[in-house]
Amino acid sequence: MKYLGITFDEEKHTYDDFGLRIKSINIGFPSVKESKIDIPGADGYLDMTDYFGTRYEDRKITIECDIEDRSYYGWAGRMSQLSNYLHGKKRKIVLDWDNGFYYLGRGTCEYEKKNRAFSLVTLKFECDPYKYELTATDEDWLWDPFDFEEGVIKEYGNQNVDGTLVLTVIGSPMPVVPRITVSSDMQVEFEGERFDLKAGENYLPDIEIKDGEHVMTFTGHGIVTVSYRGGSL
């Protein structure tokens, strides 16, 4: 019988490699980083939380599992095997039922031997606030995890610019500054502003891709790649 589980770093699976069967999982939502300024002589505070865009604290994920080990003899070794791989380590976490994204977090392991046949295992992770899209915009698209109902293909690698290229890029709920790599000097216009691009990799903080569609107009001659990885809560 195949059990749903979690893949770590695209190499280890909770059930296939460790025999863990998930009993429950809690994916907490990150708290908002609030920014408030006390105004002398006035009631309340000036809330600046949204001034630079909403920012979040880390999020916590707790996974409760059991494992059928059937004896006390192999239990300690099996738990050491799992701890050596996960405890204190930062891992890429992909859920079987949400495999178009991954979480990135550091794990801890807790164990309880309930009886001769079964053990309880609790995995806890402190993760970045957003889950990340599995495929970046300059990587080969993965069709297996693609959501054909709501997914959007974002492939912005090796675009040819012969005079002018109008490129519509699609953002995600996680704002991100893209890496723009060009084969020769050129310019890009974004939201009414024009920026110079030097041959090689360019990182311009004023070009921020947010949720929705954005138009980037490149002027020059050569090849351009717009690389970023979106994310969602």
Q: How far apart, in whole angstroms, are the C-alpha atoms of residue 154 and residue 134?
A: 12
Fold of 159-232: Jelly Rolls (2.60.120)
Q: Percent of the chain, pLDDT > 90?
A: 64
Q: How far apart, in whole angstroms, are the C-alpha atoms of residue 38 and residue 47?
A: 9
Average pLDDT over residues 207-224: 94
pLDDT exceeds cutoff 50 at 223: yes
Question: How far is the CA of 6 from the CAs of 10, 18, 51, 131, 198, in angstroms?
Answer: 10, 11, 37, 14, 42
Residue 11 β-bridge partners: none
Fold of 6-129: Elongation Factor Tu (Ef-tu); domain 3 (2.40.30)
Average pLDDT over residues 195-224: 95
Q: How far apart, in whole angstroms, are the C-alpha atoms of residue 60 and residue 28?
A: 5
- Give ranges for CATH 2.60.120.10 in the chain: 159-232
- Give ranges for CATH 2.40.30.200 in the chain: 6-129
pLDDT in tens, 95-105: 999 989 999 99
Asked whether 214 and 206 are in contact (CB, 8 A), the reply is no
Give the 3-state secondary structure of residue 27.
strand
User: Who contacts 8 (Cβ-Cβ below 8 Å, separation ≥6)?
Assistant: 14, 85, 86, 91, 92, 93, 94
Average pLDDT over residues 29-35: 83
With 0-12 CB in 10 A as exposed, 13-18 as middle and 19+ as buried, what is 127? Answer: buried
Candidate from 50-54, 101-105, 182-186 with smallest mean pLDDT: 50-54
pLDDT exceeds cutoff 50 at 148: no
pLDDT exceeds cutoff 90 at 151: no
Give the 3-state secondary structure of residue 104.
strand
| pTM, two decimal places | 0.84
- Give the model's pLDDT for residue 45: 63
Question: How far is the CA of 106 from the CAs of 9, 22, 33, 184, in angstroms?
Answer: 12, 19, 21, 40
Mean pLDDT of the chain: 87
- Give the model's pLDDT for residue 79: 84
Average pLDDT over residues 131-150: 70
Confidence band (pLDDT; 50, 70, 90) for 92? very high
Confidence band (pLDDT; 50, 70, 90) for 112? confident
